Structure 1
């Protein structure tokens, strides 16, 4: 498992966190100071990088949370199948299949021979953009 750990209070908008086993990008964060003996609470809203689902996390600022380690790499499209894309990493020459991107702007540019940027996080890969 490729994760690291951070405190909930240290996260900022744009950083990444694991919620319900899904790597997510933080889009909104709010902090609430509580009473004399309570700890500060953090309310965090994040979007899953794989499914686009909206997730929330609420907890004390000193709570330890998992942060995914995201490997950003370049690959070349070898073949386009029905709902999959076969990609070859340009450094390791490893060939693998990933799901066709849901973003129509990226999806329309995918063709054999095109270079793409793909991210690998928590054992899953997906295409982010066409180079």
Structure 2
């Protein structure tokens, strides 16, 4: 699996975290002061990288948590068909089909940037 463990206190806004077995990008991170019988708690609000669903997490700052290793890659559009794009990775030359985002109009030969985690991919920029 492409993930590693870290302490909650090491996280910050813009980094990735696993919530409900889903890679998420942190939108906000805040800590509460330690209570009478415990350690400080962190509240994390994040959005799923591939499904855009909002998720929250509250953990002690010294707890261990999984962080996904999300790779940012470059690709080139080979062809488009409806809402799908056939993309070739510019490093490995592998080709695969990806869903085109609604707000992006892609043409063959366009270069794109995409995120990849295990077998999930998402176009982020064209």
TM-score, scaled relative to structure 2: 0.94
Q: Is the 8 A contact 1:68 1:122 kept in 2?
A: no
- 1:66-125 superposed Cα distances (whole Å, 9 cap, x missing partner): 1111111111101112221110011211000111114x1xx12x1111010111113211
**Gapped runs of 5+ residues in structure 1?**
none
RMSD: 1.2
- Equivalent residue, structure 2, for 1:71: 71
Structure 1 segments of 4+ aligned residues over 6 angstroms from their partners: none
| Mean CA deviation greater in 32-41 or 22-31 | 32-41
TM superposition shift of 1:17: 0.4
- Equivalent residue, structure 1, for 2:34: 34
TM-score, scaled relative to structure 1: 0.90
CA distance in 2, matches of 1:65, 1:76: 35
CA distance in 2, matches of 1:44, 1:91: 34
Give the total of aligned pairs: 126
Q: Secondary structure at the match of 1:9?
A: helix
Does 2:89 match 1:89? yes
TM superposition shift of 1:39: 0.9
**Gapped runs of 5+ residues in structure 2?**
none
Listed as ranges, the matches of 1:79-118 within 5 Å are 79-102=79-102, 104=103, 107-108=104-105, 110-118=106-114
